[in-house]
Structure 1
Amino acid sequence: MLDESDNWGRWGHDDERGALNLLTPEVVAAAAGCVREGRVLELSLPIRGATSSPAPTTVPHLRGRPLPQHFMSVDGGDYAAGTRAVGAGLKMADDALVVTPHGTTTHMDALCHMWSGDRLYNGHSADRVRSYGAGRCGIDKAGPVVARGVLFDIPRLKGVPHLAVDDRIGPDELQACLDEAGVELRPGDVAVVRTGWPLVWQSEGPEGYWAGQPGLSADGGRWLAARDVCVVAADNAAIGGLNARQLADEDLADDLHMILLWRHGVYLAEMLWLEELAEAGRAEFLFVAAPLRIEGGTASPINPIAVL
């Protein structure tokens, strides 16, 4: 099914920020009205360096992706260097971190992450994406996200701890979540979709997690884009579902990254941890996330938070 709709040109032909343009001061101020308790929940997985031996078996990630590398550039064995650096009698530790966000950490995709043909989102030329960074639509163009978050807790709707590997979430299930909570989507909302799939890593280990993944269907993505969400965030690795080869089965027209990122400029936040948020039972909340200002980056690690 070919999706002909898009947001190209909607915010000007030079636009590189996409649906985040929906976050006007009025929309942000209204989102702040969701805060009732002042309770803050982190929605990210930990960054646990692969140089720590248990890391590959303790943090969900896609098979074969390079895990984060965390080094102590000045550690307990380097106190002499630390003393010289900061003065007599003082100690110092320092870090070095190498992260490839896609598939290994909680992160936000930039609009330059995926495209078709020779054009990025909004018609920008794809030849500006090079090894030194993307000259158009990099993650540095996004800026902070402060918006109303709306939780679509699909496992709760179905009465299961997590979805099955081949489940694909469509418009009917998304609407049912809203109906049950008595909430309507508004332009500029962040749609937060829970599949519960990270729990499989805990219960069945990496092989169970790598057997595939549930996620949004193409029509589910179109439904969200038509309602002007600015971000789709999920606790799976690719927003849409994956097969056992960790690839999407959809063709190009139905690929969620093409529908949301490329056509509509809707950002994707992947590999969130949503269990405490689900336990809180709040369908709407203040969602805050700030990608790093990596010039020309295709993504950035984020630590999204929900303020209840």
Structure 2
Amino acid sequence: MLEESNNWGRWGAADERGTLNLLSPEAVVAAAGCVREGRTLSLSMPIRGATSSPAPTTVPHLRGRPLPQHFMSVDGGDYAAGTRAIGAGLKMSDDALVVTPHGTTTHMDALCHMWSGDELYNGHPAGRVRSYGAQRCGIDKAGPVVGRGVFFDVPALRGVGHLSATDRIGPDDLEACGVDVRPGDIAVVRTGWPLVWQDGPDAYWAGQPGLSAAGGRWLAERDVSLVAGDNAAIGGLNERQLADEGLADDLHMILLWRHGIHLAEMLWLEELAVAARTDFLFVAAPLRIEGGTASPINPVAVL
């Protein structure tokens, strides 16, 4: 039994979308009013992979996670050497992509990604999550995410390029950003931590800043539909790349499990920071991976 506020049963016993239910047609139409310039910004990091090159190590990722692999049918070291002839004078190259989203690329977590006890979000049985996929709360249940994005640029607030590894973003920080948060908004939180990769993997792996438990609860209380960040876990990580909080204060438990708030992690927010816009139209569509615990996404801010 949950002991604190939650959204279980709010949209019915069968619900598998959580706060994405707040993105009604009316909310999407209202969010379109944020478009004032018509300029678009990609908020994703590149998927850079190969079978035998250092390319994947040039993109931020968590230590030890399987890196993306990109195979192409154009050279001798690929999965099917040579191009395919498809007609007189015409040839075609093919791609094969292997990506494990968590910790390696910009992605969106499904509500089946983490849970406690025997129940997923909304009381769905955790036993329905198997090696062949999650029969409840998979990423295929999320659908397109289109709504009003609101930007919390905490490094800009503090006058720094990026937060330090031990920084935790609390309600006071979020309040001080001066963002008008409305129900259904997509909260986008910048730490600047991807910039640390320029100093080398060891610097990036020394820990990570992120939301505190109180900061996560602050957003949940304001009924946001999704929380997105440029760090790897929304919450902070220690030097072992683990969360220090106990189960009750774990951000994935607070947001995914209790409140049904999907998470988008490892975004690239530097151009958005330069634009200095606190509201915009946010668009992202996870792949319809049946029973998936996550999907790569390319979030777009329309200014």
Q: Secondary structure at the match of 1:11?
A: coil
Give the partner amino acid of 2:60: P
2:196 counterpart of 1:194: no
State the partner residue of 2:5: 5
Hey, what's the Cα distance between the residues in 1 that align with 2:89 and 2:32?
46
Mapping of residues 155-234 of structure 1, within 5 Å: 155-178=155-178, 183-202=179-198, 204-234=199-229
Task: Tell me the secondary structure at the aligned position of residue 237 of structure 1.
Answer: coil
Unaligned runs of 5+ in 2: none
Q: What is the deviation of 1:88?
A: 2.3
Is the counterpart of residue 249 in structure 1 residue 248 in structure 2?
no
Distance 1:195 1:265 in 2: 23
Relative distance call for 1:31 and 1:76 in structure 2 (3 A) is same
The residue number in structure 2 matching 1:29 is 29
Aligned residue identity for 1:64: G
Q: Which amino acid aligns with 2:74?
A: D
Q: Give the one of 271, 274, 279 matched to 2:269.
A: 274
Superposed CA offset, 1:80-114 (max 9, x none): 6511xx22211100000010000001000000000
Q: Using the alignment, how far apart are the partners of 2:265 and 2:300 within structure 1? A: 14
Indicate the residue corresponding to 1:293 in structure 2. 288
- Distance of aligned partners of 1:79 and 1:5 in 2 relative to their CA distance in 1, 3 Å threshold: closer
Task: Report the alpha carbon displacement of residue 273 of structure 1 after superposing the two structures with TM.
Answer: 0.3
Percent of matched pairs sharing the same residue? 81
Instruction: Note the aligned Cα RMSD (angstroms).
Output: 1.3
For 1:70, the equivalent position in structure 2 comes to: 70
1:53, distance to aligned residue in structure 2 (A)? 1.9
Contact 2:50 2:71 in 1 (8 A): no
Matched residues in 2 for 1:81 and 1:66: separation?
A: 28
Count of residue pairs the alignment pairs up = 299
Q: Which amino acid aligns with 2:84?
A: G
Deviation at 1:79, TM superposition (A): 8.6
Aligned equivalent of 1:112: 112
Once residues 50 and 84 of structure 2 are traced to their aligned partners in structure 1, the CA distance between those partners, rounded to angstroms, is 25
- How far does residue 51 in structure 1 lie from its aligned partner after superposition? 2.3
Give the SS at the match of 1:29.
Answer: helix
Tell me the SS of whatever aligns to 2:100.
coil
Once superposed, which parts of structure 1, at least 4 consecutive aligned residues long, lie more than 4 Å away? 76-81
The offset of 1:251, in angstroms, is 0.1
Encode CA deviations 1:258-288: one digit per residue, 9 max, x unaligned. 0000000001000000000000111100000
Residue 91 of structure 1 aligns to a residue in which SS? strand
2:89 aligned with 1:93:
no
Q: Tell me how far apart the structure 1 counterparts of residues 180 and 156 of structure 2 sit (CA, whole Å).
A: 18
Q: Which has the higher helix share?
A: 1
| TM-score under structure 1 length normalisation | 0.95
What corresponds to 1:263 in structure 2?
258
1:19 counterpart residue number? 19
Contact 2:74–2:82 under 8 Å retained in 1: no
Which residue identity does 1:187 align to in structure 2?
P
- Give distance in 2, aligned partners of 1:70 and 1:296: 23
